[in-house]
Amino acid sequence: MNKKDAGKAVELAEILNLRDKKRLIVSRGDQVEIPVVECDLVSLKSLKEMAEFEFEIVEQQKPVYARARNLKDALKQKLPESEMKKLEKLIPSAYKVIGNVILVKMPEELRDYARLIGETLLEINPHCKSVWWDRGKRGMLRKPDVELIAGSGGETVHREWGCLYRFDVSKVMFSPGNQAERMRMGTIVGNEVVVDMFAGIGYFTIPMAKKAKVYAIEINPDSYHYLIENIKLNEVEDRVIPVLGDSMFVTPERVADRVVMGHINCHEFLPVAIRALKGKGWIHYHESVPEAVLERPVRRVISAARAEGKNARIECVKKVKNYSPGVIHVVVDAYIY
């Protein structure tokens, strides 16, 4: 139809509930194509009778589809309705976009649809280059268990509150859910010495190094590689001392005003952390704990302090995020003296 009648045509198609919103209105020269849904003769007759303009109903040769707002809506455009009904409860409602890489968790039942899901996520997020099936982490080194399902490449740069983190999602972990805690640590430190016992790629090290001197300890060679990269990327070489090794054995003693224990399974390292302090100072101890025993992290900190001949004043117990059903990730702020 002619462009001058397009506004009236859209309004009429909306009134009759005939407009196909999965496809975009397309302009070709002085003509406009307004997509409509498949309809019966009665609906077509109503459209013809109510229209005050000339138009022709044709099969659209080059439709342009509207970008779906979420994964389920997008898949509805690609899968038969009967198939979609069987899968709808399995399709993930959320996913992580880190830099230009997507991480998505989904059940094994969607194995046959993994590639379709990955390609669809790239269509929804055109700035991204790859999609990885995220099955969690493995072992003390927190190795990612991931599989590439669309696109290519796992290395990316994540920007967060003025900090840059370069890493490869297929080699090291990154948790967007810890963002608030990373930034909190960046604000509470001062001109002091900090030991980051489980530095990873620099999650806590980088924001803290803006103001403090940081010993950054990491056992995973892949994570350590990106820790060095991120120290350079954020221009804090003069404020960070990177250490490759097991923090149980390489943590320096009596050097720190503050110790960060960012691993959620590290209670056995508490004596080492206490000995890293200059006699007294702060410990930020992380743990994943069942809600039924929320007092456990506090008991562990107090007990470890007593074993080292110290006292512990518990300043704060803060929830970082939900870890799993019935289990939360908490951090204990304790002053050791």
Domains within the chain, CATH numbers bracketed: 3-50 (no CATH), 71-153 (3.30.300.110), 174-336 (3.40.50.150)
Percent of the chain with pLDDT over 70: 91
Interatomic CA distance for residues 334 and 120, integer angstroms: 46
Q: What is the pLDDT of residues 204-221, one digit of tens each?
A: 999 999 999 999 999 999
Q: Residue 208's closest CA among 224, 226, 225, 193?
A: 193
pLDDT confidence of residue 142? 67
Q: What is the pLDDT of residues 242-297, one digit of tens each?
A: 999 999 999 999 999 999 999 999 999 999 999 999 999 999 999 999 999 999 99
pLDDT confidence of residue 141? 62
- Residue 131 Ramachandran class (φ > 0 left, ψ -120 to 50 alpha, else beta): beta
Q: What is the pLDDT of residues 114-153, one digit of tens each?
A: 999 999 999 999 999 999 999 887 766 668 899 999 999 9
**pTM, 2 dp:** 0.73
- Tokens matching residue 67: 């970008």
Phi and psi torsions of 251, nearest 5°:
-65, 125
CA geometry: angle 22, 28, 29, nearest 5 deg? 155
Contact 121, 95 (CB under 8 A): yes
pLDDT confidence of residue 48? 66
Q: Residue 177's closest CA among 105, 69, 270, 267?
A: 105
Interatomic CA distance for residues 251 and 215, integer angstroms: 9
pLDDT confidence of residue 130? 97
Contact 231, 160 (CB under 8 A): no
Phi and psi torsions of 256, nearest 5°:
-110, 145
Q: What is the rounded average pLDDT for all residues in the chain?
A: 89
Q: What is the pLDDT of residues 39-82, one digit of tens each?
A: 665 566 666 666 777 777 777 776 766 555 689 888 988 889 88
Question: Residues 158-184: what's their mean pLDDT?
Answer: 89
- Tokens matching residue 131: 């999609």
pLDDT confidence of residue 15? 67
pLDDT confidence of residue 39? 66
- Tokens matching residue 3: 């462009």
pLDDT confidence of residue 190? 95
